[in-house]
Structure 1
Amino acid sequence: MAVKYQIFVSSTYEDLKAERDRVIQGILELGHIPVGMEMFSAADEQQWQTIARNIRESDYYVVILAHRYGSRDGAMSYTRKEYEYAVAEGIPTIGFVIDPEASWPADRFEKDAEAVDLLEEFRSLVRSKPVGFWSNADDLYGKASVALVKAMTAQPRIGWVRASSALGPEVTAEISRLSAENAELRTRLSHLEKDAERDAAAELTELWAQMARNQWSYSARFPGDADWVEARPLAYSTLFRLLAPNMVTEASDENIDDIVRVNTRRLTPVEGAAADLKPSSIPVNTRNAMLSDFVMLGLMEPSKRRHPVADKADYWSLTEMGLEMLKVRKRLDFASTELASGPTADGAGLIDKGAPSR
């Protein structure tokens, strides 16, 4: 099956017409497909997209440099723009730079000092890879043909083939077999994904039940009290309902303390005005132990977002599993709201204040 390679030929235009023609002739004689920038108007942005597509679709890229920098797009010439694009796309590039000692018409030299500097910079870039030096059109023709053959041997590419050659009976049969196999694999993958979703949902349901059965016991200091007093324990499922919405992005340890304090009640009720007072503080080590429990459950983790060096606070976020748990609980909450009004059993009377202003 004969493969034809598409080869993009790039250079300045007016001063290198004869040289380009000889390189294109050599490509045709080798049985391949030349593509030249003269087919397009590089100054037009839409046409540049066409040029870029043709470079991407090419198997090799040839650049020819003489003594002109060429027309520019801003500070960069279109020839350099094409070259850098080909390199960025991973297209094998073959450079040909005119021999400094070669005879060349005086009217084909750059006269602008800035353009001369830019041309030398571009030459240095091209010479950073192996290049060929040429002295005239015939010399370039021979060297370009030899270099392309070597490149095709050392770096064979996909190329192009005639449709009639590419799709024989054997290929058609193989495509049919692979298509059927692909369909079967897709079906099996779909079943596996559904099984995995069911397993994950069952795991979250069981974890939630365990969280509802286990309580976080802690103490708090209320205004007017000299000592820490025991607070009413909170189920881990309740704590998750309170904290998780604030951790979709992240919550600081101070935010977490505020949420816990607002929802803290004394274990032993008191009479009078003190009954309505909220605690002034929660033990840091106890709060950290609670967060550590959620880390061990795979629901929370230290935030990965960057903060100023001066910010000494610790920040916490939900893990992927924590986000999925929050989604599941929200869906269930919305579904239960449609059936009956009122708060859910394990969250009755609790308040999520988020991050209150100070």
Structure 2
Amino acid sequence: MQKRHQVFISSTYTDLKEERALVTQTLMQMDCIPAGMELFPATDEEQLDFIKKVIDDCDYYLLIIGGRYGSTTEEGISYTEKEYEYAVEQTIPVIALLHETPNSISVEKSEISTEMRERLNRFRARVSTGRLVKHWKSGSDLPGQVAISIAQAISRFPRVGWIRGNNVASEDLLREINDLRKENQALKAKYELQKNIPTIEELNPADLDSNITLHGTYSANMTRQGWSANTNWREIFYLISPYLTINTSEAVIKEHLKDGIISKYRINSYKNILSDQDFQTVSVQMQILGLITINAANEHSREKLWRLTPSGESLMYKLRVIKE
């Protein structure tokens, strides 16, 4: 049955116009449906909401990173990275094409400020974590890389795609059978794992008011300096819970926790990094207390998504609601 796949093209806009045009042409030649925002690039929250609806209808998310981080929200996160976060949260397969040598890109197509270059580097590192990425040097490299990457993605991560209306009934039936098969496999795997997980009574976890010391480092006088903060599990949950009402990537939660801690305890924020070992302990503790669930973005990804359980949501309201 002939099927066409819709691909969302995400990138900064003005510096990558020519590259986007080449990618769009390649996708059309592959009988894919390119979905890009050339006429309405994301530059405000209202437009971003519209773009999310477009991403919802796409089968694959194609990210192109050049020499710019792009326009940012009030939180300091670029709209391109916001699009990426949303695609990951919706478990849409991501294909990432990163410029191999961003320092060689011309000045007019690069970030000038040190801060924006650092944000771009962090974004590149984040995208490269948990997935294979491809690198390009010039626009002429992109058509071949896009063709190979899309073909591999369609083969490895089959998606619903688009078909003619007269084939919908049979396609829906096949999809329902396939979904039931996957659900059955997932339930079997979950059952096997849970058989070996000790009960809460056996683990006897610390309660919410028990203390814990978090550690990290920051940059000062050209060296890394250590810091520590004595807090408790209730405060940690208070800081991160509002961000967990939807599926949120682990990297984002780690940043929110770090920012909340260094703000409250007045710790130097310059190039500040929270200890990953401490953060993994937070992850385990929040799960064993029944406050969050953590799942992979999709069956082929190592990126983890956090979300509140019903118990966690109830506790968040108790901690956060301002009473009369």
TM-score normalised according to structure 2 size: 0.50
When residues 37 and 113 of structure 1 are mapped into structure 2, their CA distance, relative to the original with a 3 A threshold, is same
Q: Is the 8 A contact 1:19 1:141 kept in 2?
A: no
- 1:29 partner amino acid: Q
When residues 160 and 39 of structure 1 are mapped into structure 2, their CA distance, relative to the original with a 3 A threshold, is farther
> What's 2:137 paired with?
135
1:165, distance to aligned residue in structure 2 (A) = 3.5
Measured in 2, the distance between the counterparts of 1:80 and 1:155 equals 22
When residues 163 and 71 of structure 1 are mapped into structure 2, their CA distance, relative to the original with a 3 A threshold, is same
Q: Is the 8 A contact 1:102 1:136 kept in 2?
A: no
- 2:100 partner amino acid: D
When residues 94 and 171 of structure 1 are mapped into structure 2, their CA distance, relative to the original with a 3 A threshold, is closer
When residues 41 and 16 of structure 1 are mapped into structure 2, their CA distance, relative to the original with a 3 A threshold, is closer
Q: Secondary structure, in 3 states, of the residue corresponding to 2:31?
A: coil
> What's 2:57 paired with?
57
Measured in 1, the distance between the counterparts of 2:157 and 2:171 equals 25
Unaligned runs of 5+ in 2: 174-324
Over residues 293-337 of structure 1, what are the superposed CA-to-partner deviations in whole Å (9 max), with x where a residue is unaligned? Answer: xxxxxxxxxxxxxxxxxxxxxxxxxxxxxxxxxxxxxxxxxxxxx
Measured in 2, the distance between the counterparts of 1:33 and 1:85 equals 20
Measured in 1, the distance between the counterparts of 2:78 and 2:45 equals 14
1:145, distance to aligned residue in structure 2 (A) = 1.1
1:157, distance to aligned residue in structure 2 (A) = 0.2
When residues 101 and 171 of structure 1 are mapped into structure 2, their CA distance, relative to the original with a 3 A threshold, is closer
> What's 1:46 paired with?
46
- 1:127 partner amino acid: S
- 1:67 partner amino acid: G
1:41, distance to aligned residue in structure 2 (A) = 4.4
Q: Is the 8 A contact 2:67 2:102 kept in 1?
A: no
1:101, distance to aligned residue in structure 2 (A) = 7.3
Over residues 99-144 of structure 1, what are the superposed CA-to-partner deviations in whole Å (9 max), with x where a residue is unaligned? Answer: 1178532321111111111000000011112100001111011101
> What's 1:4 paired with?
4
Q: 2:154 aligns with which of 149, 152, 167?
A: 152
- 1:8 partner amino acid: F
Between 1:138-147 and 1:42-51, the stretch displaced more is 42-51
> What's 2:27 paired with?
27
When residues 91 and 67 of structure 1 are mapped into structure 2, their CA distance, relative to the original with a 3 A threshold, is same
Q: Secondary structure, in 3 states, of the residue corresponding to 1:37?
A: coil
> What's 2:37 paired with?
37
Q: Secondary structure, in 3 states, of the residue corresponding to 2:150?
A: helix
Over residues 169-223 of structure 1, what are the superposed CA-to-partner deviations in whole Å (9 max), with x where a residue is unaligned? Answer: x789x9xxxxxxxxxxxxxxxxxxxxxxxxxxxxxxxxxxxxxxxxxxxxxxxxx
Q: Is the 8 A contact 1:103 1:135 kept in 2?
A: no
Measured in 2, the distance between the counterparts of 1:17 and 1:112 equals 22
The count of aligned residue pairs is 173
Structure 1 position 77 matched with structure 2 position 112: no
Measured in 1, the distance between the counterparts of 2:4 and 2:96 equals 21
Identity of aligned residues (%): 38
Q: Is the 8 A contact 1:102 1:135 kept in 2?
A: no
When residues 33 and 45 of structure 1 are mapped into structure 2, their CA distance, relative to the original with a 3 A threshold, is same
Measured in 2, the distance between the counterparts of 1:90 and 1:39 equals 26
* Structure with bigger gyration radius: 1
When residues 25 and 41 of structure 1 are mapped into structure 2, their CA distance, relative to the original with a 3 A threshold, is closer
Structure 1 position 166 matched with structure 2 position 154: no
Q: Which has the higher strand share?
A: 2
When residues 134 and 102 of structure 1 are mapped into structure 2, their CA distance, relative to the original with a 3 A threshold, is farther
Q: Secondary structure, in 3 states, of the residue corresponding to 1:76?
A: coil
When residues 148 and 171 of structure 1 are mapped into structure 2, their CA distance, relative to the original with a 3 A threshold, is closer
When residues 3 and 102 of structure 1 are mapped into structure 2, their CA distance, relative to the original with a 3 A threshold, is farther
When residues 9 and 101 of structure 1 are mapped into structure 2, their CA distance, relative to the original with a 3 A threshold, is closer
Measured in 2, the distance between the counterparts of 1:46 and 1:104 equals 31
When residues 29 and 102 of structure 1 are mapped into structure 2, their CA distance, relative to the original with a 3 A threshold, is farther
1:162-311 superposed matches below 5 A: 162-167=164-169
- 2:143 partner amino acid: Y
User: Quick one: higher RCO (CA 8 Å, sep 6+), 1 or 2?
Assistant: 2
Q: Secondary structure, in 3 states, of the residue corresponding to 1:73?
A: coil
> What's 1:106 paired with?
107
1:4, distance to aligned residue in structure 2 (A) = 0.7
